[in-house]
Structure 1
Amino acid sequence: MSKRLRSSEVCADCSAQDPCWASINRGILICDECCSVHRSLGRHISQVRHLKHTPWPPTLLQMVETLYNNGANSIWEHSLLDPASVMSGRRKASPQDKVHPNKAEFIRAKYQMLAFVHRLPCREDDSVTAKDLSKQLHSSVRTGNLETCLRLLSLGAQANFFHPEKGNTPLHVAAKAGQTLQAELLAVYGADPGTQDSNGKTPVDYARQGGHHELAERLVEIQYELTDRLAFYLCGRKPEHKNGQHFVIPQMADRRLLDLSELAKAAKKKLQSLSNHLFEELAMDVYDEVDRRETDAVWLATQNHSTLVTETTVVPFLPVNPEYSSTRNQGRQKLARFNAHEFATLVIDILSDAKRRQQGNPLAGSKDNVELILKSISNQHSSESQDNDQPDYDSVASDEDTDLETNAAKSNRQKSLDSDLSDGPVTAQEYMQVKNALVASEVKIQQLMKVNINLSDELRVMQKKASKLEKQSSVSESDYDNPTTPLELEETGAGRKGRQRSVIWQGEGSIPEDTDTAPSSSLPSTEDVIRKTEQITKNIQELLRAAQENKHDSYIPCSERIHVAVTEMAALFPKKPKSELVRTSLRLLTSSAYRLQSECKKTLPVETCPTTDIQLVTQQVIQCAYDIAKAAKQLVTITTKENNN
């Protein structure tokens, strides 16, 4: 932080003197007390970094300084600047206010609820408003006015907006104009340096073409920010991107610490078998946990261990991100229970596999690895030697004091770890392809799958019941659990009606009623039911992937495979089950599979019948998949319970 700023700096939230922290994505400086609240909100709300005791890329720090000096805080306190707000009693926090509840409530209202941000006039079509804002952002980034761009981003402009007429994104424009600070701001809000424009060029290409070589190098660093941060956390080193070395893979110096058990090998194979989508989610979660641990270490080193530290600043695990599923949030929180060695092992595995995936190296025996993943889905949260409270990603996590262990590990990491620098060929675009697809589909997917707490809780209860089976099966497996599974598909409001209808659906897929057959109480083996459930789950995953990537032509073949798997599972059960619960579950399973096929067929005549609402169809497809997964899980639970009795 430059000396010329230090004399006049105050906390953006309470006006305390000499703030020591910055909120990067808000463009403000904050004091210790307010920072403690920011940290509890999570990185999706505020990305905090210490001004002195945390390494800063120079241009990122310059970006925050510029925003702070140009009144970025007025964006988040717009309505408080209105004299009428004083008359109404609305005011910002003061240095004398208590952290809880005064400062905490104000900060949550300011950044989480955006209670004081300028509101645009209500319009019927919000998408048009977002598009207009994004176009303004696209034009503004060619200038040096950061505050204008932050204001547009706060109102809903998209950092990765692809301009249909210009054929590029705001980051392409900023890179071509040499606007380094604009590029930093866009990157903080998710802009992807690997995105190609209509000519197949990336922002890095345009920066180099314009002679902005430092900006080009910085954009490459941003591309590898995740893996660079993980490597630096373990060994204090980053790769030399200028020399084409894009990965540092730390290795345990003491080989005796390596876990070579079958469980560890299975866990590593499973990590390698995750889809690019799920692997990226896991890597991002570990990145957030690294940030939490490093910030904790800085916090403990800079405080006086007063009441402030011990009572109001504890962030024991990653805060909940409402944009993520409940399963993923649980897994993120349990990362905090990994001790230093366990967490380092996970980080090294992620770095190694990120390198392999980028360079396109094939994985031997991929079918076996996929089977490991599918098996873990049916036995999620379960293991022969672990209960349901153990971490989602690794069965060996402990309850030890990770803060102390992490600090000790960080102080000795140069002694305990060495580095193996990679100098292999690199294609940056290859590594970023999945991220591009995710950004493009994020809004659509969020609209399609909203969280329904009751159903999620119901599924978790069923999963816990079914998990008891593992204690009677072969040796349990340790794994990096799938952060999100089709068995926890969240339903939309429109889908709830479909779920109710599917229970009484009478069609081709309904379970036949054989009046001549006597009711049977016999049930198939739990192992057979689980095996068929795994096949159904695998096919549902393929369907969801098609929905995320807008590959509507894949709906019908996916639905056919699901129908076949459902038919095979239903055939395991007697024609006339004695249990009403079994009959109900089978009816839901088969009728939902039939209805899924019917919904998927609606994607066929898109060219001849342009009135087809693809979004509504996709919504119904996802709902059908949810019903199938739910019914299959119910049947696993029932057979497990009955066979154990």
Structure 2
Amino acid sequence: MSIRLRNVCADCSVPDPRWASVNRGVLICDECCSVHRSLGRHSSQVRHLTHTPWPPTQLQMVQTLYSNGANSIWEHSLLDPTSVMSGKRKANPQDKLLPNKSEFIKAKYQMLAFVHRMPCREDDSNTAKDLSKQLHSSVRTGNLETCLRLLTLGAQANFFHPEKGSTPLHVAAKAGQVLQAELLTVYGADPGAPDSNAKTPIDYAREAGYNDLADRLFEIQYELTDRLAFYLCGRKPDHRIGQHFIVPQLADSSLDLSELAKSAKKKLQSLNNHLFEELAMDVYDEVDRRETDAVWLATQNHSTLVSETTVVPFLPVNPEYSSTRNQGRQKLARFNSHEFATLVIDILSDAKRRQQGSAGLSTQDNLDFMLKNLSVKPFGDSLDNDQPDYDSVASDEDTDQDMPVSKEDRTKSPDSDLTDGAITLQEYMDVKKALTASEAKIQQLMKANGNLSDELRLMQKKASKFDKQSSMPESDYDNAFMDSDMDDSRRGRLRSSGWLAEGSSIPELDNVEMETDPTLPSTEDVIRKTEQITKNIQELLRAAQDGKHESFIPCSERIYVAVTEMAALFPKKPRSETARGSLRLLTSSACRLQAECKKAVPSDGGQSPDMQLVTQQVIQCAYDIAKAAKQLVTITTKETTN
């Protein structure tokens, strides 16, 4: 479903905004969206109006909120004439993104600086309770902006009314208020929560004859696993026929899992439900970040490859989470596309196992158990941080090969994996120490230094001060490509929103133990090859932006040739583990890119590919290549200066 772009940006009044903030109920322009994305999903959940698949009623909910003045909720005090006297003002189209628009948007949505404040009362809990009771009553009507205002002020979407014996979602479902139900679930309302009569909102919608609403609420319960499955294979389970899970498998399973990978899987399975929920929610957020980046890059002007406003390099900090968890969330960005797909598959598999493996419970008890332990907590529901957040998983830095998931390991009894026991305190402390050290390295890696071309020119100037080293003999760093062949047949029940695991494959650029390696090529040679790779990637991104999918394959071939020439500059086995890891990422990503681009061609049977999914994966592979090339430039620059 799409809409005609005839509105103005809620934050700066630029005409024809192309993005929406779902939880804020506003439409925003590209520039302002770049700031929203940097705030994180806990502050603003952004979706493109035409390039992102929308549940029709969710899009209708956002449109209705915006057209009915939802923006006045976030700019309440600015509407007061005295605000002009105080120096407060809204951003305008002529303002610069940094710092003007950025500071205004952060004040508006992160600090809630312009929201109407309730009079201070001694008992805040009573205030929240009163607001929640008002919400419980208001959702039976179609007045969405009133309910959004109440939620903003502190009303709880899952509030259980002690006298009525139900939640606001029960009331909205019984009244057939589809858009109210969409708003409540965006703010975390549980469609499977029972009321005092042991009935769920789904039950009430079905009994009242609102079957479309009942189906939508049922679908929302599987939002997390559906989103993860769609990310990997471009389709979702058909819940109407009883298919509730799709768990893809990696096609190349010729190699068994290493002992390290097996240990990582066991530790994932040994997590208690609370920690597994957190991990799942974080991975969901990372999927959203990657998908949004893909849409962003496909809809922008690619005169440069990377700039301050085109890429959100890792998940922004959520102040509701512990520092350890935030560090772990940010490490997710360092997984390349193959490794991240492996993690997502492991989580989908274990979610299904947990849902179906609650021995001794009835089917309904199983459903209730999973809904209770895997529920969405998008706003203000602080989590218990007394227990460790993550345990380590296998890293590409620990092995010379990518670690594919074997078919045998995926199909064996899950009970056979549960032999590792609970995570020990010492294991947790080791992981926490590693996370802390890695965070500093990530910050250094992701520092905003302008776009990639600027960095290359700067490094080239530095390189000119040194003697040119001769390049080394050709070598083959072409790792075998591990494609994702999709297989389904998973059934179950589950609801939630995002997941994560600790570990990484992308080497650090500032490895303090790295020795000088005289066999590495000169920085000038590496920069020259990197510039060619960058040029070819820009051409590919422009083709994606213009919808010229027929150009994907020739573009990928040119990128592959440029990557092969760059890899040939390096020796067979560089002394630096950092260099070896970067070369592995560079060449394997180029192979994956070729395979993804080939999917843009219709199959022999005439079936058209899902171009949105193909474009998303193509852009991710291109980003992995650019990042690896940047790492190699940095590595050779350090070697030269040493």
TM over 0.5: yes
Q: Which amino acid aligns with 2:137?
A: S
- Would you say 1:268 and 2:265 are equivalent positions? yes
Q: Distance in 2 between matches of 1:252 and 1:380?
A: 28
1:51 to 49, 52, 77: 49
Q: Distance in 1 between matches of 2:175 and 2:16?
A: 35
Partner SS, residue 253 of structure 1 = coil
| Residue number in structure 2 paired with 1:325 | 322
Q: Distance in 1 between matches of 2:224 and 2:484?
A: 22
Deviations 1:49-90 (A, max 9, x none): 000111100000000000011000000000100111112221
Q: Distance in 1 between matches of 2:483 and 2:304?
A: 34
Q: Determine if contact 1:99/1:312 at 8 Å carries over to the other structure.
A: no
Q: Distance in 2 between matches of 1:147 and 1:358?
A: 37
TM-score (norm: length of structure 2): 0.60
Q: Distance in 2 between matches of 1:246 and 1:228?
A: 8
Q: Distance in 2 between matches of 1:260 and 1:361?
A: 27
TM-score (norm: length of structure 1): 0.60
- Would you say 1:295 and 2:292 are equivalent positions? yes
Alpha-carbon offset, residue 196 of structure 1:
0.9
Q: Distance in 1 between matches of 2:82 and 2:490?
A: 60
- Would you say 1:338 and 2:354 are equivalent positions? no
Q: Which amino acid aligns with 1:419?
A: D
- Would you say 1:206 and 2:274 are equivalent positions? no
Relative distance call for 1:209 and 1:89 in structure 2 (3 A) is same
Relative distance call for 1:233 and 1:414 in structure 2 (3 A) is farther
1:171 to 153, 169, 172: 169
| Residue number in structure 1 paired with 2:612 | none
Partner SS, residue 418 of structure 1 = coil
Relative distance call for 1:389 and 1:13 in structure 2 (3 A) is same
| Residue number in structure 1 paired with 2:138 | 140
Relative distance call for 1:217 and 1:391 in structure 2 (3 A) is farther
| Residue number in structure 1 paired with 2:96 | 98
Partner SS, residue 128 of structure 1 = helix
Alpha-carbon offset, residue 220 of structure 1:
1.1
Q: Which amino acid aligns with 1:137?
A: L
Q: Which amino acid aligns with 1:6?
A: L
| Residue number in structure 2 paired with 1:389 | 438
Q: Determine if contact 2:32/2:102 at 8 Å carries over to the other structure.
A: yes
| Residue number in structure 2 paired with 1:14 | 12
Alpha-carbon offset, residue 197 of structure 1:
0.7
| Residue number in structure 2 paired with 1:120 | 118
What does 1:354-503 correspond to in 2, within 5 Å?
Answer: 354-360=351-357, 364=415, 368-372=419-423, 376-381=427-432, 388-389=437-438, 416-423=484-491, 426=492, 428=493, 431=494
Q: Distance in 2 between matches of 1:290 and 1:414?
A: 20
Partner SS, residue 29 of structure 1 = strand
Relative distance call for 1:270 and 1:195 in structure 2 (3 A) is same
Partner SS, residue 332 of structure 1 = helix
Structure with the greater alpha carbon radius of gyration: 1
Q: Distance in 2 between matches of 1:286 and 1:338?
A: 11
| Residue number in structure 2 paired with 1:476 | none
Q: Determine if contact 2:18/2:28 at 8 Å carries over to the other structure.
A: yes
Relative distance call for 1:96 and 1:309 in structure 2 (3 A) is farther
Q: Determine if contact 1:93/1:106 at 8 Å carries over to the other structure.
A: yes
Alpha-carbon offset, residue 254 of structure 1:
2.1
Alpha-carbon offset, residue 370 of structure 1:
2.3
Deviations 1:583-634 (A, max 9, x none): xxxxxxxxxxxxxxxxxxxxxxxxxxxxxxxxxxxxxxxxxxxxxxxxxxxx
1:86 to 84, 87, 91: 84
| Residue number in structure 2 paired with 1:249 | 247
Partner SS, residue 239 of structure 1 = coil
- Would you say 1:282 and 2:282 are equivalent positions? no
Alpha-carbon offset, residue 110 of structure 1:
0.3
Q: Distance in 1 between matches of 2:196 and 2:253?
A: 49
Q: Determine if contact 1:303/1:309 at 8 Å carries over to the other structure.
A: no
| Residue number in structure 2 paired with 1:629 | none
- Would you say 1:27 and 2:25 are equivalent positions? yes
Alpha-carbon offset, residue 6 of structure 1:
2.7
Q: Which amino acid aligns with 1:29?
A: L
| Residue number in structure 2 paired with 1:66 | 64
Partner SS, residue 288 of structure 1 = helix
Query: Aligned Cα RMSD in Å?
Result: 2.7
Structure 1 ranges of 4+ moved more than 6 A: none
Alpha-carbon offset, residue 377 of structure 1:
1.5
Alpha-carbon offset, residue 365 of structure 1:
6.0
**Structure with bigger RCO (C-alpha 8 Å, 6+ apart):** 2
Q: Which has the higher helix share?
A: 1
Q: Which amino acid aligns with 1:318?
A: L
Identity percentage of aligned residues: 76
Deviations 1:137-172 (A, max 9, x none): 000001111011001001110001010001110011
Q: Distance in 2 between matches of 1:60 and 1:373?
A: 44
Q: Determine if contact 1:110/1:116 at 8 Å carries over to the other structure.
A: yes
Q: Distance in 1 between matches of 2:71 and 2:416?
A: 54
Q: Distance in 2 between matches of 1:390 and 1:91?
A: 37
